[in-house]
């Protein structure tokens, strides 16, 4: 296990622009964010000796930026890959494999400049044989499949699923960089265009362009950097299945539960210690599955918890304070933006800053419930 | 379903028996001889206990509707709206499918309703297992 607070985020930044960026290809979005993160902490490419990324190869990113790494990590398990990169980087730094790690994300999700595509797997893969032939057409028609079962199991009305998007829009309204800021109501969500029943447009994430980068190093060096260090307190990761039809239970994510429990155990914290929470929200049901799997709510109670405004501005557990994938931005692999918001909150510079926040939990999902990663940050040194 | 064909599966050595079965109108699953676990999709070992001592059998083709979406967006071989469903087979495993021979509406697609298998011949080599409501 990585020692508490032995590794810190010292540099963090998103791309200069966010939303629609037709003038940058995918690899340049990685690079723009990386250059901004290096400027944030006063480092040059020659100061970086570890590179981790997903979407592009770490070899391509290192070469593009002029970095000669002694450690690379190309873990690519979907949108939570960056949570896993943080976890792996912390272990690598602590064990001396490298000193300073750059983690990058960039995705031309909207403009599709130099972008890869979602393929549904080769026709001989398990997904290609046993799911793709049934007309799955990207995440809105896959990630959503368990939800009718979940709603029936717990007797949750559709209004309470729609409300997740409403509350997150309240947070987005406080964020000048959020793509969607105008207030919405449950009625607005339920009147928006049907995408894949029971999911309507406003229950689905945005599709935008952008990127983000993090720079991590040992805590003993962290105080030499210009920004307030944000320490890694605990991390977790897990995976379940590449086939959503083969999840253990449509009412809960095993990967969420295992990753979250591991991170909380490593951090040695209780739920009451958490000041700020990010749960990757590609679709409106994910905060529900996340709150329950992480242990903030009992099974089936998360929709009421959000309905009762516990996670809304002014609530006791601020959740997805950047507006989330539903309203802030979503390039395709959103995990990096959740991490960026946790770092901003721990630095005390978030647009919707949680006053006095000391511990932030950042929980990611990858590949339609296939994988999960959790990072727990603190701004209090050892 | 429309002019453009569905994306067809390509069998592998591990799944060939399953696809040979659907071509003959049979749903073939595997049961572990060591621990009796029934599983899907096909592989030559038990995912519950890792035994390689597993055997094929022909399943009933009966199950219940476990969960679904009704997709409104285009996909090759489909005309929206169409259901993408997961069926819980009577033998235990769940599998993805489409529910056919009924309106593609929430009113017609009721969770836990009984369904039974039908096979759609995609081409000379592949028949796809689909499910329809059991008419009482």
**CA-to-CA separations, A364 to A49, A74, A200, A303, in angstroms, rounded:** 26, 17, 22, 19
Q: What does each of the 382 residues of chain A score in pLDDT, given as a tens digit?
A: 667 789 999 999 999 999 999 999 999 999 999 999 999 999 999 999 999 999 999 999 999 999 999 999 999 999 999 999 999 999 999 999 999 999 999 999 999 888 876 566 788 999 999 999 999 988 999 999 999 999 999 999 999 999 999 999 999 999 999 999 999 999 999 999 999 999 999 999 999 999 999 999 999 999 899 999 999 999 999 999 999 999 999 999 999 999 999 999 999 999 999 999 999 999 999 999 999 999 999 999 999 999 999 999 999 999 999 999 999 999 999 999 999 999 999 999 999 999 999 999 999 999 999 999 999 999 998 8
The rounded distance, in Å, linking the Cα atoms of A203 and B99 is: 24
Chain B residue with minimum CA distance to A194: B72
> Cβ–Cβ of A196/B7 closer than 8 Å?
no
> Cβ–Cβ of B95/A130 closer than 8 Å?
yes
> Cβ–Cβ of B97/A134 closer than 8 Å?
yes
Q: Is residue B37 helix, strand or coil? A: coil
Q: What is the mean pLDDT of residues B118-128?
A: 94
Which of B41, B74, B84 lies nearest to residue A136, judging by beta carbons?
B84
Chain A residue with minimum CA distance to B99: A134
Closest CA relative to residue A307, chosen from A150, A139, A138, A157: A157
The rounded distance, in Å, linking the Cα atoms of A93 and A219 is: 10
Sole residue written with tokens 């944030």? A40
Chain A residue numbers touching B122 (CB-CB < 8 A)? 133
The rounded distance, in Å, linking the Cα atoms of A217 and A174 is: 31
> Cβ–Cβ of B94/A132 closer than 8 Å?
no
Q: What is the mean pLDDT of residues B113-128?
A: 96
> Cβ–Cβ of A128/B69 closer than 8 Å?
no
Query: A286: left (phi > 0), else alpha (psi -120 to 50), else beta?
Result: alpha
Residues sharing a CB contact under 8 Å with residue A284, sequence separation 6 or more, in sequence order:
A161, A162, A164, A165, A199, A203, A204, A326
Q: Is A228:A347 a contact under the CB 8 Å cutoff? A: yes
Residues sharing a CB contact under 8 Å with residue A272, sequence separation 6 or more, in sequence order:
none
CA distance B49 to chain A (A): 16
Which of B69, B77, B95 lies nearest to residue A141, judging by beta carbons?
B69
Spacing of C-alpha A221 from chain mean position: 26
CA distance B136 to chain A (A): 23
The rounded distance, in Å, linking the Cα atoms of B136 and B123 is: 32
Chain pair A-B, CB pairs under 8 angstroms:
115
The rounded distance, in Å, linking the Cα atoms of A247 and A265 is: 24
pLDDT, position A118: 59
The rounded distance, in Å, linking the Cα atoms of A366 and A117 is: 16
Which of A135, A193, A195 lies nearest to residue B75, judging by beta carbons?
A135
Residues sharing a CB contact under 8 Å with residue A345, sequence separation 6 or more, in sequence order:
A275, A276, A321, A353, A354, A357, A360
**Cα dihedral: A48, A50, A52, A58 (round 10):** 90
Q: Does B121 touch chain A (CB under 8 A)?
A: no
Q: Is residue B49 helix, strand or coil? A: coil
- The long-range contacts involving A149-155, CB below 8 angstroms and separated by at least 24 positions, are A149/A250, A149/A251, A149/B66, A149/B67, A149/B111, A150/A250, A150/A251, A150/A285, A150/A288, A150/A289, A151/A198, A152/B111, A153/A251, A153/A300, A154/A251, A154/A299, A154/A300, A154/A301, A154/A303, A155/A300
Q: Do β-strands A371-378 and B54-58 pair in parallel, antiparallel, or remain unpaired? A: unpaired
Q: Is the model's pLDDT at B4 over the cut of 70?
A: no
The rounded distance, in Å, linking the Cα atoms of A250 and A151 is: 10
Which of A122, A196, A246 lies nearest to residue B69, judging by beta carbons?
A196
Chain A neighbours among B 13-72 (CB < 8 Å)?
15, 40-41, 66-72
> Cβ–Cβ of A198/B106 closer than 8 Å?
yes
> Cβ–Cβ of A133/B9 closer than 8 Å?
yes
Sole residue written with tokens 């709510």? A297
pLDDT, position B1: 43
The rounded distance, in Å, linking the Cα atoms of A61 and A76 is: 14
**Domains of chain A and CATH, by start:** 7-114+206-378 (3.40.47.10)
Mutation target to probe the B interface, by most B beta carbons within 10 A, among A143, A148, A248 is: A148
ipTM value for the complex: 0.91
Q: Is A156:A303 a contact under the CB 8 Å cutoff? A: yes
Chain B residue numbers touching A245 (CB-CB < 8 A)? 86, 94-96
């Amino acid at each position: 296990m990585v020692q508490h607070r032995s590794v810190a985020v010292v540099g963090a930044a998103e791309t200069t622009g966010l939303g629609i960026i037709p003038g940058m290809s995918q690899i340049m979005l990685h690079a723009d964010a990386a250059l901004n993160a290096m400027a944030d902490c006063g480092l040059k490419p020659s100061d970086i000796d570890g590179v981790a990324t997903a979407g592009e190869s770490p070899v391509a990113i290192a070469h593009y930026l002029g970095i000669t790494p002694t450690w690379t990590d190309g873990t690519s398990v979907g949108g939570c890959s960056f949570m896993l990169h943080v976890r792996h980087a912390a272990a690598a730094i602590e064990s001396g494999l490298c000193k300073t790690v750059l983690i990058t994300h960039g995705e031309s999700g909207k403009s599709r400049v130099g972008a890869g595509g979602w393929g549904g797997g080769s026709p001989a893969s398990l997904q290609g044989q046993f799911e793709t032939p049934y007309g799955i057409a990207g995440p809105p028609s896959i990630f959503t499949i368990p939800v009718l079962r979940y709603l029936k199991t717990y007797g949750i009305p559709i209004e309470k699923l729609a409300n997740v998007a409403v509350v997150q829009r309240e947070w987005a309204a406080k964020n000048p960089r959020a793509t969607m800021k105008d207030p919405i109501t449950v009625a607005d969500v339920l009147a928006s265009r049907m995408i894949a029943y029971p999911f309507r447009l406003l229950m689905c994430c945005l599709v935008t362009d952008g990127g983000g980068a993090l720079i991590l190093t040992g805590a003993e060096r962290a105080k030499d950097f210009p920004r307030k260090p944000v320490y890694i307190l605990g991390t977790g990761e897990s995976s379940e299945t590449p086939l959503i039809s083969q999840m253990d239970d449509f009412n809960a994510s095993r990967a969420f539960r295992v990753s979250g429990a591991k991170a909380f155990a490593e951090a040695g914290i209780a739920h009451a210690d958490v000041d700020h929470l990010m749960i990757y929200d590609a679709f409106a049901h994910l905060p529900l599955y996340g709150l329950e799997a992480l242990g903030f709510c009992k099974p089936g109670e998360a929709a009421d918890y959000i309905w009762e405004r516990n996670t809304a501005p002014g609530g006791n557990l601020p959740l997805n304070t950047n507006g989330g994938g539903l309203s802030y931005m979503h390039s395709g692999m959103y995990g990096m933006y959740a991490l960026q918001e946790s770092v901003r909150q721990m630095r005390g510079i978030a647009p919707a800053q949680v006053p006095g926040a000391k511990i932030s939990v950042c929980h990611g999902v990858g590949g339609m419930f296939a994988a999960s990663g959790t990072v727990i940050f603190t701004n209090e040194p050892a | 379903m429309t002019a453009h064909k569905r994306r067809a599966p390509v069998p592998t050595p591990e799944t060939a028996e399953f696809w040979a079965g659907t071509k003959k109108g049979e749903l073939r699953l595997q049961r572990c001889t060591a621990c009796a676990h029934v599983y899907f999709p096909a592989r030559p070992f038990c995912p519950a206990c890792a035994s390689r001592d597993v055997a094929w059998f022909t399943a009933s083709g009966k199950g219940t509707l476990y969960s679904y979406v009704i997709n409104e967006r285009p996909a090759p071989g489909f005309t929206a709206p169409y259901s993408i469903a997961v069926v819980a087979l009577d033998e235990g495993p769940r599998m993805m499918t489409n529910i056919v021979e009924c309106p593609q509406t929430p009113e017609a697609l009721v969770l836990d309703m009984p369904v039974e298998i039908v096979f759609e011949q995609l081409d000379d080599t592949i028949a796809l297992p689909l499910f329809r409501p059991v008419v009482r």
